């Protein structure tokens, strides 16, 4: 098998990065893969020491298959990911993307590489996800599922899809006047993607992921998900840069999803590339349930 290169994006959290690398190293394919660690530069004086610590750690733990790319200044997460994914897609035609707060299950790289091979020529498939929402209906499935939704917590893609990424989010203004389009983009009210895209385009946030979501949405693109999550996000703590609400960090401590164990087999790949409307609705219901819980917790914390 021709293993896809792995892009790891790091900033200032050396302890998180250490856990991320340790988990990836437990995947059999890791040592056989080209690994590129993109280290962003400090955004301010407070980040200088932390970024230096990350770069010392990387220098001390660099393996023969690892290339460290140090940005001379601060690009920010969106520009850093756009640069790194574009570079590796152009060189290798595909890429696996892991941020420095993602913990991988032992079969994650197997899942990514098999899917990247199988669906390489399927133009409707934009992404392979390592994450899965806590969906009870999927719990006993052995096979992955295609959804009309891309995600950013551990993912992989091909150059053919990434070339269609539109950082300008062309046509985003249509969401202002088209209620049905907003409803579809927001997963039937499951998640406020429209608000995120407005915040992005009006300069309130800096997110590549919401623009990637809009790009795939416009093209009716699909993403392959495992039936149960193969990654865990450990980034919701006091060091998080891009989490706007501290109550979400507490919430996720209540709802943290366990990743697959080392003896759990890799999920099977669907033979047909087809997104079922009912599966999309099932995920939307799960996200709505999650958000209702988060709103209740937010209210409780506000009154505490």
User: What is the per-residue pLDDT across 109-166, written as a single tens digit (0 to 9) for each?
Assistant: 999 999 999 999 999 999 999 999 989 999 899 999 999 999 999 999 999 999 999 9
Residue-level pLDDT at 256: 45
| pLDDT higher than 90, residue 264 | no
**Which DSSP string corresponds to 81-110?**
HHHHHHHHHHHHSEEEEEETTEEEPTTHHH
| pLDDT higher than 50, residue 247 | no
As a whole number of angstroms, the distance between CA 201 and CA 219 comes to: 19
C-alpha 101: how far from chain center: 10
What does the pLDDT average to over 201-225? 97
How high is the mean pLDDT of the chain? 91
Task: Tokens 């001390």: give the residue.
Answer: 60
73: how many CB neighbours lie within 10 A of its CB? 9
As a whole number of angstroms, the distance between CA 101 and CA 41 comes to: 17
| Nearest one of 25, 210, 14 to 103, comparing CA atoms | 25
Tokens encoding 252:
């996720």
**Least confident residue range of 107-116, 183-192, 258-267, 288-297:** 258-267
pTM (2 decimals)?
A: 0.91
Q: How are beta strands 6-10 and 145-147 bridged, if at all?
A: unpaired
What does the pLDDT average to over 15-36? 97
Percentage helix, strand, coil, to 5, in the chain? 45, 15, 40
| pLDDT higher than 90, residue 174 | yes
| Nearest one of 161, 176, 177, 189 to 284, comparing CA atoms | 189
β-partners of residue 173 are: none
Q: Which CATH number fits domain 6-164+219-302: 3.90.1300.10, 3.90.550.10, 3.90.960.10, 3.20.20.70?
A: 3.90.550.10
Q: What is the percent of the chain with per-residue pLDDT over 90, rounded to a whole number?
A: 81
Residue-level pLDDT at 303: 66
C-alpha 213: how far from chain center: 11
Residue-level pLDDT at 259: 61
Tokens encoding 187:
């997963």
DSSP state of 66: E
Where helices occur in the chain by DSSP H, the ranges are 14-25, 48-60, 77-92, 108-118, 159-162, 174-177, 179-185, 193-201, 208-218, 246-254, 277-302
| pLDDT higher than 50, residue 251 | no
User: Which residue did the predictor score with more confidence, 246 or 58?
Assistant: 58
User: What is the per-residue pLDDT across 76-87, written as a single tens digit (0 to 9) for each?
Assistant: 999 999 999 999
The full set of domain ranges for the chain reads: 6-164+219-302
| pLDDT higher than 60, residue 261 | no
**Residue 217, phi-psi category: left (phi > 0), alpha (psi -120 to 50), beta (remainder):** alpha
What does the pLDDT average to over 184-197? 94
62: how many CB neighbours lie within 10 A of its CB? 13
| pLDDT higher than 50, residue 212 | yes
DSSP state of 264: S
């Amino acid at each position: 098998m021709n293993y896809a290169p792995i892009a790891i994006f790091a900033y200032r959290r050396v302890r998180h990065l250490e856990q991320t690398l340790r988990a990836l190293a437990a995947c059999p394919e890791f040592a056989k893969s080209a690994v590129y660690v993109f280290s962003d530069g400090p955004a301010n004086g407070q980040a200088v020491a932390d970024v230096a610590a990350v770069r010392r750690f990387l220098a001390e733990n660099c393996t023969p298959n690892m290339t460290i790319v140090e940005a001379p200044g601060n690009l920010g997460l969106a520009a850093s990911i756009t640069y790194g994914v574009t570079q590796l897609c152009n060189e290798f035609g595909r890429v696996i993307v892991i941020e420095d707060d993602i913990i991988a299950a032992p079969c994650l790289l197997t899942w990514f590489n098999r899917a990247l091979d199988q669906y390489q020529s399927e133009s409707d498939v934009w992404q392979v996800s390592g994450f899965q929402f806590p969906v009870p209906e999927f719990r006993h499935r052995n096979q992955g599922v295609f959804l009309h939704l891309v995600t950013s917590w551990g993912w992989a893609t091909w150059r053919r899809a990434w070339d269609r990424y539109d950082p300008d989010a062309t046509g985003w203004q249509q969401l202002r006047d088209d209620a049905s389009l907003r409803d579809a983009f927001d997963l039937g009210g499951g998640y406020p993607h429209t608000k995120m895209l407005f915040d992005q385009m009006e300069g309130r946030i800096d997110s590549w992921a919401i623009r990637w979501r809009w790009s795939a949405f416009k093209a009716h693109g699909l993403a392959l998900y495992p039936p149960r999550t193969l990654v865990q996000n450990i980034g919701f703590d006091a060091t998080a840069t891009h989490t706007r609400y501290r109550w979400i960090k507490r919430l996720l401590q209540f709802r943290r999803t366990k990743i697959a164990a080392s003896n759990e087999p890799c999920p099977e790949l669907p033979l047909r590339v087809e997104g079922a409307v009912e599966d999309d609705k099932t995920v939307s219901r799960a996200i709505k349930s999650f958000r209702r819980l988060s709103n209740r917790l937010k209210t409780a914390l506000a009154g505490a």
